[in-house]
A and B are shown apart, each in its own frame.
Chain A
Amino acid sequence: MSNDVRIPEDLYEGDEDSVITAWLASDGARVKQGALIAEIMTAKVQHEMIAPASGILKILKQQDEVVTKGTVIGQIS
């Protein structure tokens, strides 16, 4: 079973694009539910992406890629 790591609709106000400024876990690394795994920036403000489940992380969108709310940036299985 795999869980999508999706940019939440309420991560930040507005609907503008954002950028993945850092992955804080590697592709293929084991992560724990609730752990901080990425930082997303919009308008020079950083927001935290939290692991929705425990398991092995697969990164689908790389650092510096432009993303929007609802984008699936990774999977945890």
Chain B
Amino acid sequence: MENERKLTIARAMAEAMAQEMRLDPTVFVMGEDIAQLGGVFGNTRGLADEFGTDRVRDTPISETGFISAAVGAAMDGMRPVVELMFVDFFGVCFDAIYNLMAKNIYFSGGNVRVPMVLMTSTGGGYSDAGQHSQCLYGSFAHLPGMKVVSPSNAYDAKGLMTAAIRDNSPVIYMFHKGLQGMGWLGTEAAANVHVPEDAYEVEIGKAAITREGTDVTIVSIAMGVHHALKAAKVLEAEGISAEVVDLRSLVPLDRDTVRASVRKTGRLIVVDEDYHSYGVSGEIIATVCEAGDITLKAAPRRIAYPDVPIPYARGMEQFCLPNPEKVAAAAREVCRTTVSA
């Protein structure tokens, strides 16, 4: 490699937006503190300088207003990228998201498009308590009409953002704060990877086999992928070969890749920083069980967030979060046990 060019996810997102803005005058960005400050998570840094504040707009704290405005702009031919600063704030603006953004293509009989991206930060681990630390993957993925993606590394972050901006349907782009490369939010160095300078797309709805293995499949998304990879490394030294599937997209969900992996390994662990019940982890387990031709060698397991509001106290929050140790412990158990015929 002539010049290694690692980016943080924050930089990769900004680069994708900048490249699409250069190509397409209908692309614009808006949200709270995204212009002058460059986004509290760094993902819009430099955009206002290059494109000006007509195309990179700071909004008031009025999520219902500016997300609804983006829906209208998208229906009128623009391609807005809008930031909901913390996914936890969805409560005040969900009508705009799931009754307008998600449904207007259907309600118009397919006569209008809603090509917009709603990017929003997820995740905890840095003691920001229960209104700033949730993932809520399942809440968004549950409702039809929106694609939902979440990258685990900078390469996917850029390619998924490019694909999301070019998509003619609304895309929820969830970025985990601990993967942004923003020090104070926690830092995951493995998220910073080499990123090609030229624009490219990562297909929405396609999972990646991040690590190949034969004994157990660990399925996850965003931060959970890094927990899975760290666990896999520990397990390898103990003679357990773990395969890691990075979903990358929750909607559409790449069920084929998940099933193919579990068909091979016969064991399944899902790592999900969203709440345990009624969420992504249950959906993945159902996906495997419904296939009908997969014989599990052990009961499936999920390492998810307990069904409690996220604690502020560091010790309590860390106790609740998924981590590599919990994943490795679950893998040891499923690799020892066998389901009786």
Q: A24, B3: Cβ atoms under 8 Å?
A: no
A35 close to B (CB within 8 Å): yes
Q: Is A29 an interface position by the 8 A CB rule?
A: yes
Residues in A whose Cβ lies below 8 Å from that of B4: 25-26, 29-31
Residues of A within 8 A of B182 (CB): 21, 41, 46
Contact status A22-B1, CB under 8 Å: no
Chain B residues near A22: list those with CB within 8 A.
Answer: 6, 8, 181, 187, 189, 192
Interface check A4, CB cutoff 8 A: no
A21-B183 in contact (CB<8A): yes
Check A24/B192 contact, CB under 8 A, given A39-B181, A41-B183, A63-B187.
Answer: yes
CA distance A45 to B73 in the complex (A): 33
Is A32 on the interface with B (CB-CB < 8 A)? yes
CB contacts (< 8 Å) of A32 on chain B: these are 2-3
Q: Which residues of A contact B3 (CB under 8 A)?
A: 30-32, 35
Nearest A residue to B189, CB-CB = A63
B42 surroundings in chain A (CB, below 8 A):
46
A19: B residues at CB distance < 8 A: 183
- In the assembly, what is the distance between CA of A4 and CA of B189, in Å? 23
**Contact with A21, one of B2, B6, B187 (Cβ below 8 angstroms):** B187
Chain B residues, Cβ within 8 Å of A39: 8, 181
Which residues of A have CB within 8 Å of B5? 24-25, 35
Q: How far is the CB of B157 from chain A (nearest CB, A)?
A: 14
Q: Known contacts A30-B2, A41-B184, A46-B42: does B8 contact A23 (CB below 8 Å)?
A: no
Taking CB atoms, residues of chain A closer than 8 Å to B187 are: 21-22, 63-64
Q: Cβ of B207 < 8 Å from any Cβ of A?
A: no
Interface 1/0s, chain A 1-37, versus B by CB < 8 A?
A: 0000000000000000001011111100111100100
Q: Within B1-59, which residues are at the interface with A (CB < 8 Å)?
A: 1-8, 42
Once A39-B8, A46-B42 are accepted as A-B contacts, the answer to whether A23 and B2 lie under 8 Å apart by CB is no
- The CA-CA distance from A63 to B183 in the complex, in Å, is 9
Cβ-neighbour of A30 out of B1, B6, B181, B189 (below 8 A): B1
Report the separation of the CA atoms of residues A17 and B319 in the bound assembly, to the nearest whole angstrom: 30
